Structure 1
Amino acid sequence: MFRAILIEKDDHGYRAGVQELDEARLPEGDVRVRVSHSTLNYKDALAITGKGPVVRQFPMVPGIDLAGIVEESSHPDYQPGDAVLLNGWGVGESHWGGLAQQARLNGDWLIPLPQGFSAAEAMAIGTAGYTAMLSVLALERNGVTPERGEVLVTGANGGVGSFAIALLAKLGYRVLASTGRPEEADYLKSLGATEIIDRATLSEPGRPLGRERWAGAIDSVGSHTLANVCASTRYGGTVAACGLAQGMDFPATVAPFILRGVTLAGIDSVMRPRADRLEAWQRLARDLDKGLLASMTRTIGLEEAIATAGELLTGKVRGRVVVDVNR
């Protein structure tokens, strides 16, 4: 038996709760992992609350991230005792995920726990930090260097935003942070932001082209914010789009792309090839100041994750939430 958050939907409605489950109920897979830590991401919060169509079949164990120890394996790359982690691959959406003490998975979805990280640290980073690193790599590949100018990070208080600021600052960029919580300015500056921008200046409908301001941007907000970010990106700049906290729509024109040569780089973290995942985690091990993790992270237990999901969706959660599934 093991404990897990189980989401159910039936004639009695949509509900999530912590339950004791039999290992026989685990889905198919060639690796069984004893999970030690997971995380609470925006997508997990949507799944737990039912506020978004994340879960594709029921019942479902949420949790798009997990770290733990292999207990059983018929996969050639993994043996019992191996420390592993997982981000994405539809886990927590169409396959039981990491907010549980046990998980049975396709071994191709796993990567070894990177050297230098504990399971708790890897989950403090999780999909948020991994996505932020993929976004930084996209800027680098498109020639956005510190010498080219400032880089804007939207949704700065969220997990992706916090890691993006920390990574960019460590790499020598001057970082502008957009937030709707000015009281968090000291926190954002402690991560490396040099200037705070009120998100209200970006979140309403704007002009097709604005004043050129930043050489690049990492946007986790979408909608009007992303449109305005693109409109004020300098000639030849790149915007990495990795989220949709404001909305899925993109009410923009082609003007920034054909008049200023701006590149809009889409960042997918869910189905990313293994080589990209390994590169991102290797760079995280090199470029992330692990000393910042404590200020960016709080740890909760499984029972607390359900209430915290609602707080995350209303913007009351700063940085990252690690879930100790054995707590």
Structure 2
Amino acid sequence: MVQNNSTFKAFRVEEKDGNFVGSIKEVAFNRLNDNEILVRVHFSSLNYKDALSASGNKGVTKNYPHTPGIDAAGIIEKSHSALFKTGDKVIVTSYDLGMNTDGGFAEYIQVPAEWAVKLPEKMTLKEAMIYGTAGLTAGISVLRLTELIKPEDGKIAVSGATGGVGALSVAILNKLGYSVVAITGKETERDYLMNLGAKEIILRSEIENFDKKPLLKPLFAGAIDTVGGVILENIIKSTHSIGVVTCCGNVASPKLDLTVFPFILRGVTLIGIDSQNYPMKYREIVWNKLADEWKPKQLEYTCNEIQLKDLPHKIELMLSGKLKGRTILSLVE
């Protein structure tokens, strides 16, 4: 309990001689302000944005020392807000957590109460972090896609399918009865993707080398793109009439080289997904769906669990594109 300790453990990233180094430190508690909550973190998760923060990317985190971790799930130990009480189980994702506000790679987080969502009854704290921001992003993408595209309409492509958002999107869409085409650069992960529920695999190199024409043969009724760049371009150009494509990432490139033809000749809809500032009332809808009718039976299969001491190695693997699925950080013994 807080009153028995003056410090807690956290993975702190510090700048030393121009290099950014992460290590486990003892950190002092701050005074809790009005409308803030203090959460004892049980689980967090490793995201690409965390890896950037841990490596000193000033576009993500401006000031160091800093504790990354854009996701956290735990139990409120102190509350100065009417929204929550001590003992409530909550999920905290996105907003400024782990960016310029110390994040979930620590035993405790102190955040505005408005950032928290009450843990759904049918979800555990660990499951919440198997989802995390990646799951919320996948959930928002699925929500928007399924508003307009039904399983009988045709195949749904998912790019970056072995990543956190991609893997969860494949699993959720499969649970909902969609026929999923997984797009990946990792030929060795075919079995992994098929176990998640993909019905077909397309290699990234294949879709990158599609014809340069402004419109291509229709292949997909819709898609969830997590990478951007030429892959997103070719997905859009290969989408059926009145199809829907969501986009949430730019790891391949933030640029698109397209004509308007897919939009004005086929009526394709491109929907941007911003999970960082997604309105709370819709967050609650998505989290409750993820806890119940959207929860894939393969959820545990999409993750591996680590401890604070394992973070440096996993961050290095993530930055080099060698992680698959979700990496969950356990902060309770």
- Shorter-normalised TM-score: what interval? over 0.9
Q: What residue number does 1:132 align with? A: 138
Farther off after superposition, 88-97 or 56-65: 56-65
- Structure 1 distance, partners of 2:270, 2:328, is 31
Q: What residue number does 2:265 align with? A: 259
Q: What residue number does 2:315 align with? A: 309
Q: What residue number does 1:118 align with? A: 124
AA at the equivalent of 1:239: V
AA at the equivalent of 1:60: H
Alpha-carbon distance, 1:28 to partner: 8.4
Q: What residue number does 1:296 align with? A: 302
Alpha-carbon distance, 1:22 to partner: 1.0
AA at the equivalent of 2:268: V
Q: What residue number does 1:223 align with? A: 229
AA at the equivalent of 1:63: G
Deviations 1:134-160 (A, max 9, x none): 00111122x211111110000000111
- Structure 2 distance, partners of 1:43, 1:304, is 17
- Structure 1 distance, partners of 2:275, 2:233, is 22
* Structure 2 unaligned regions, length at least 5: 1-6
- Structure 2 distance, partners of 1:166, 1:12, is 41
1:180 aligns with 2:189: no
- Structure 2 distance, partners of 1:284, 1:277, is 10
- Contact 1:2/1:102 (<8 A) preserved: yes
Alpha-carbon distance, 1:8 to partner: 2.6
TM-score under structure 2 normalisation? 0.93
- Contact 1:28/1:105 (<8 A) preserved: no
Match of 1:319 among 318, 325, 333: 325
- Contact 1:27/1:104 (<8 A) preserved: no
1:280-295 to 2 correspondences below 5 Å: 280-295=286-301
Farther off after superposition, 205-214 or 222-231: 205-214
- Contact 2:34/2:81 (<8 A) preserved: no
Match of 1:36 among 36, 42, 47: 42
AA at the equivalent of 1:103: I
- Contact 1:29/1:104 (<8 A) preserved: no
Match of 1:240 among 246, 256, 281: 246
Q: What residue number does 1:191 align with? A: 196
Match of 2:30 among 2, 20, 24: 24
Question: Secondary structure at 1:137's aligned position in 2?
Answer: helix
TM-score under structure 1 normalisation? 0.95
* Structure 1 unaligned regions, length at least 5: none
Match of 2:71 among 46, 62, 65: 65
- Contact 2:224/2:246 (<8 A) preserved: yes
Match of 2:111 among 105, 111, 133: 105
Identity %: 40
Alpha-carbon distance, 1:270 to partner: 0.4
Question: Secondary structure at 1:291's aligned position in 2?
Answer: coil
Farther off after superposition, 241-250 or 221-230: 241-250
- Structure 2 distance, partners of 1:88, 1:146, is 30
Question: Secondary structure at 2:199's aligned position in 1?
Answer: strand
Provide the alpha-carbon RMSD of the alignment. 1.8
Summarize the Cα distance change of 1:290–1:137 in structure 2 as closer, same or farther, 3 Å threshold: closer
Q: What residue number does 1:155 align with? A: 160
Deviations 1:270-305 (A, max 9, x none): 001111100101111223345312211100011211
Q: In the comparison of the two structures, how many residue pairs are matched? A: 326
- Structure 1 distance, partners of 2:62, 2:302, is 31
